[in-house]
Each structure stands twice: as C-alpha cells, then as structure tokens.
C-alpha cells in the first residue's frame, strides 16, 4: 500500500491527521469534503540547488585525503608490494580457521538467521560474547553486550552515546583516524594526547591530564595500537585509569587487537618494557572508571569483511547506569547493525576456534615484525620501533638527512615511484616523519620490501656533516 494509502486508511479509522497533513513524499495536503488535495504551497526555489549536508561535508577520512593526493606510479620493472593496507586477508596467506568457516556455513544452512535480529543482536550471540570476555575482575552478562556492524560501528555508538556537540574527546597521537572522522562530523572537538616513541609508545600521562577540562566526555585508549603495534603494561594501563578516575572521565577502550600480543619477550628491542604473554583488558584493571570496550571479529579471526563487532559495557559502580545503556539501545535502533548470519555463527566461532589458530597468527606476525625491525634497524636514516602486538610497525625517518624529500608523504610517494613499495605516511595518523608498515604480508615479500627500502634509503641518504652543523649554529 502506498504512503498516501496508509494516510488515507488511518483517516478512515479515525486515527489519521486532521486538516493539513504532510505525507512522506513531503507534500502538504488539505482536507476538503473528506478527501485529500495538494495544498497550494508557494514555491521557495526558482531552480535546483541540492547540496551535501554539513555532516557529509564535515566527514573527512585523513587517510583518503592524503593517499588520494599522492602520485602513486610504481616502477614498472618491480612488482608492487603494498605494505599499507590494514586488511590481513589481502595477500591470501592468512586464511581464517576452518572452524570459523564451518560455523558460517552451518548458520546459513540452518535457515534460522535470515530474518531481522533485535537491534542489539540475538541474546544467545550476546551471551556467547559475554562468556568469552568475562573475567572474575570484569564479569559480563548478555545485557552488557551490544553487537554492531564491525568495531567501527561500536566506536560510532560509543562516541555518540557519551558526547554532545561542543564536548571534546581525548584521542591518542599517533592514532587510528576513525575517531576523529566520526567526532568532527558530530561537532565534537578532538584533542590529541601524545604517545612517546622513546618509551615504546606509552602515553604521555602529564600531557593527557593537561588536556582534560569540564567538556571532556571520554578518553579513547587503543591497546594494542594501530598504528604503533605497541602493547601497554598492566602498570601503565593502571596509570591511565588513575588519570580518568581523578577527573571522572569514562574510557572508550578500543581493544580490536586484544590478545594479538607477542608470546615471548622480544628481547632484541633494547628498550622493551613488555613482558609478552598478555595484554590485560582495561576493564579488568578498573576499580571505578566506567568503560565501553569495543572489539570484533575483524582482526583476531581474520575476517574484517564479515562486519561483526561489539561493545562491552563495564560499569561495576553503576555510573553509566540505565541511561547510557538505554542510550546505546536507542542508537542501535537507528540501523540494525550486525549481519544475522555472522551472529548465528558467533557462538561456535568463539567456543570452537582452536587455540593453535590464534597462536600461529601471532607467531607469524611476530616473526615478520622481527624480520622487518632487524632489516630496517640497519638502514641509515630509519628508526623502526619494535612492536609487541597488533599487525603494524612504525618507522621513523630522519628527514634532515634525506634532503631530497620535503616530508613523509614525499618520501613514501618516491618509494613507490622508485621501488614499488607502498607504506602509509604517518601524517595520515597526525604523526609526520614516520611511516607505518603492515606486517601481514608473506615473509618473502617482507624481506624483498625491506631490501628495496634499504636500496632507496642508501640512494637518498645524505647525512648533514658535523662541519655544516657547526656552520649553521
């Protein structure tokens, strides 16, 4: 039945609109002798002028802004190696586990998951996530879980429920660009707090604290980190929690890379502060700070295209209370987020994926990181920072000694032109003079790429001599 039909039917039932009515096609109607006729509305426009909304115009993805502006013309003599894409499936060397695939096939064959699910997800699937992530320190029930379309929607809902336009959020620098993309489009100010490369990317706690004011509505903590590959110690996480607690600011913990942490101490990294083995969740360490922890299947289960994420609501002192929970439920109703087939497979994925799958993924990432770190450590003008988790390594460029290039964007652009190796300039993470390498590529390609980066640097490295330094002073 047409929209007009619905309106007319309602009228006949006595529940319709009286007098002037607005149908969904936007036309005003008036009632004359029981019938609806278009009202004579004075046209306000003489010609077409359809503009994108302010929200659309204010939605900017810095990675796209930078990469689309680069001239990426690879050297035709060398096959391209893209170390830029944070999608572990692109090279085909890291398939997901067959248990994960079977769970999906079973969910389809059951025909039980073809309809709409509740906006927050099926209760059974939420319970499965709650069971998987529950710990004695941070217990979870199905009611504490909201299923979303990837971790991205989880972050979107978490920011949306905690912040109003005019508020500010504290975001790590360097950090994942989505936080800013979402916040700015909602009129929320982003304040960047510094991570310290010389301390394996720990948070500059003083800087973090200095940014908090009465309009700060949340602190985002990404652990393990994209783009740094760093993993915070328990002690460091506790210090961040203390800052949040002192100022009564909730935390949005982006833990999409949780448990993607190296198994053994990475001893070759001299300044390593990581004991390896584990990355405790923020919630397991929090005595009072309320936390929305965002995660999903994308990275650990190597299926980013399946778009299944979650928010875990940790609120032991009932600070979020029912209002924030209700807010999240309402926001989830805007769009039914997570695909029902994947929700149907979730319980089996979480319960039946063999531990060997997780450990072999992490071993591979760790070994590739070590190769990359060792190779690039020996390259003049580069300072790689050894990661301890996730799937990235950040590399500092000693720009002073590469006079051929203006900045990291220029450097990485020419690396493509000459060597057909593409690394993401860290300006995309608001952190110039670094680039980020994704370590999910097959080992041979990692070795080949490092060799080419070395050749490129040897060609362009021209250290400023001590004499010229002296003359400048």
Ligand X SMILES: Cc1ncc(COP(=O)(O)O)c(C=O)c1O
What is d(CA 148, CA 140) in angstroms, rounded to the nearest whole number?
Answer: 17
Quote the CA–CA distance of 5 and 17 in Å, as a whole number: 13
Which residue lies nearer to ligand X by CB, 392 or 456?
A: 392
Q: Which is nearer to ligand X, 36 or 218 (CB)?
A: 218
Tokens (6 digits) for 459:
């060609």
Token output for 96: 């997901």
Local structure of 365: helix, strand or coil: helix
- Beta 251-254 vs 189-196: how paired, if at all? unpaired
Judged by beta carbon, residue 81 or residue 256, the one nearer ligand X is 256
Task: Compare residues 29 and 180 and give the one whose CB is closer to ligand X.
Answer: 180
Task: Select 138 or 220, whichever has its Cβ closest to ligand X.
Answer: 220
Smallest distance from ligand X to CB 411, Å: 23
For ligand X, the closer CB: 290 or 296: 296
Residue 65: C-alpha distances to residues 70, 85, 429 (Å): 9, 15, 12
Determine the Cα–Cα distance for residues 447 and 235; give it in Å rounded to an integer: 35
Q: State which residue, 250 or 304, has the beta carbon closest to ligand X.
A: 304
Compare residues 200 and 298 and give the one whose CB is closer to ligand X. 298
CB nearer ligand X, residue 8 or residue 428 = 428
Residue 414 beta carbon to ligand X: minimum distance, rounded to whole angstroms: 26
Q: Is the dihedral of CA 97, 101, 104, 106 positive or negative?
A: negative
- In this structure, the chain runs to a length of 473
- Minimum separation from the CB atom of position 10 to ligand X (A): 41
**Least Cβ distance, residue 149 to ligand X (angstroms):** 8
Q: For the residues of 45-57, what is the DSSP string, one character each?
A: -SS------HHHH
Q: Nearest approach, Cβ of 256 to ligand X (angstroms)?
A: 4
**224 and 279 in contact (C-beta within 8 Å)?**
yes
Q: How many CB atoms neighbour CB 459 within 10 A?
A: 12
Closest chain position to ligand X (CB): 150
Please spell the DSSP secondary structure of 74-140, one letter per residue: --TTS--EE-----TTTTSSSPPPHHHHHHHHHHHHTT-SSSPPPTT--HHHHHHHHHHH--SSS--
Minimum CB distance to ligand X smaller for 222 or for 419 = 222
Tell the smallest beta-carbon distance from residue 423 to ligand X (Å): 16
Residue with tokens 């972050």: 155
* Intra-chain end-to-end CA distance of the chain, in Å: 81
CB 428 within 8 A of CB 85: no
Minimum separation from the CB atom of position 158 to ligand X (A): 11
Closest CA to 163 of 318, 338, 334, 324: 324
Rounded alpha-carbon distances, angstroms, from residue 209 to 198, 252, 391: 20, 16, 29
Q: What CA–CA distance (Å, rounded) separates 169 from 84? A: 27
Tell me the C-alpha to C-alpha distance, in Å, between residue 43 and each of 46, 48, 113, 451.
7, 12, 48, 67
In sequence order, what DSSP letters do the residues of 234-265 get, joined into one string? HHHHHHHHHHHHHTT--EEEE-TTTT-B-SS-
**Least distance from ligand X to the Cβ atom of residue 84, Å:** 12
Least separation in angstroms between residue 152's CB and ligand X is 3
Report how far residue 61's alpha carbon sits from residue 314's, in angstroms, rounded to the nearest whole number.
30
Based on CB atoms, which residue is closest to ligand X, 194 or 226? 226
Question: Which positions touch ligand X (CB under 6 A)?
Answer: 86, 150-152, 176, 222, 226, 254, 256, 296, 298, 304, 309
Would you say 338 or 379 has its CB closer to ligand X? 338
Find the shortest distance in angstroms from Cβ 94 to ligand X.
Answer: 15
- In the complex, the smallest distance separating the C-beta of residue 175 from ligand X, rounded to whole angstroms, is 8
* Smallest gap from residue 383 Cβ to ligand X (A): 23
């Amino acid at each position: 039945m047409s929209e007009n039909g619905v309106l007319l039917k309602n009228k006949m039932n006595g529940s319709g609109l009286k007098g002037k009515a607005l149908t969904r096609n936007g036309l005003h109607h008036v009632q004359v002798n029981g019938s609806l006729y278009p009202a004579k509305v004075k046209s306000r426009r003489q010609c077409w002028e359809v503009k994108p909304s302010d929200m659309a115009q204010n939605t900017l993805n810095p990675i796209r802004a930078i990469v689309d502006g680069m001239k990426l013309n690879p050297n035709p003599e060398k096959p391209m190696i893209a170390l830029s894409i944070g999608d572990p499936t692109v090279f085909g060397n890291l398939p997901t586990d067959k248990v994960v695939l079977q769970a999906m096939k079973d969910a389809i064959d059951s025909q039980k998951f073809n309809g709409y699910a509740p906006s927050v997800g099926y209760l059974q699937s939420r319970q499965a996530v709650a069971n998987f992530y529950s710990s004695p320190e941070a217990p979870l029930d199905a009611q504490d879980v909201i299923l979303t379309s990837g971790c991205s929607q989880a972050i979107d809902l978490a920011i949306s429920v905690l912040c109003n336009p005019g508020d500010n959020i504290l975001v790590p620098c360097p950090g994942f660009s989505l936080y800013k993309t979402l916040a700015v489009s909602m009129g929320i100010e982003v304040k960047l707090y510094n991570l310290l490369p010389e301390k394996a990317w720990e948070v500059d706690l003083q800087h973090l604290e200095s940014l908090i004011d009465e309009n700060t509505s949340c602190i985002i903590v990404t652990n393990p980190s994209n783009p740094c590959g760093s993993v915070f110690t328990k002690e460091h996480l506790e210090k961040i929690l203390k800052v949040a607690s002192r100022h009564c600011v909730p935390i949005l913990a982006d833990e999409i890379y949780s448990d993607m942490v190296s198994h053994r101490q990475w001893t070759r990294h001299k300044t390593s502060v990581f004991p390896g083995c584990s990355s405790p969740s923020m919630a397991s360490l929090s005595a009072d700070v309320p936390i929305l922890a965002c995660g999903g299947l994308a990275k650990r289960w190597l299926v980013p295209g399946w778009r299944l994420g979650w928010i875990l609501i940790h609120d032991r002192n009932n600070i979020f209370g029912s209002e924030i929970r209700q807010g999240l439920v309402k926001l989830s109703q805007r769009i039914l987020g997570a695909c029902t087939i994947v929700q149907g497979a979730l319980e089996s994925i979480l319960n039946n994926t063999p531990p060997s799958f997780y450990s072999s993924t992490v071993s591979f990432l760790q070994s590739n990181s070590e190769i990359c770190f060792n190779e690039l450590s020996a390259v003049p003008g580069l300072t790689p920072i050894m990661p301890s988790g996730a799937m990235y390594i950040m590399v500092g460029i000693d720009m002073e000694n590469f006079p051929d290039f203006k900045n990291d964007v220029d450097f990485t652009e020419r690396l493509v032109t000459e060597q057909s190796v593409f690394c993401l300039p860290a300006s995309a993470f608001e952190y110039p003079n670094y680039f980020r390498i994704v370590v999910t590529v097959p080992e041979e390609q990692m070795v080949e790429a490092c060799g080419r980066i070395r050749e490129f640097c040897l060609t362009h490295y021209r250290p400023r001599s001590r004499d010229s330094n002296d003359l400048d002073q």
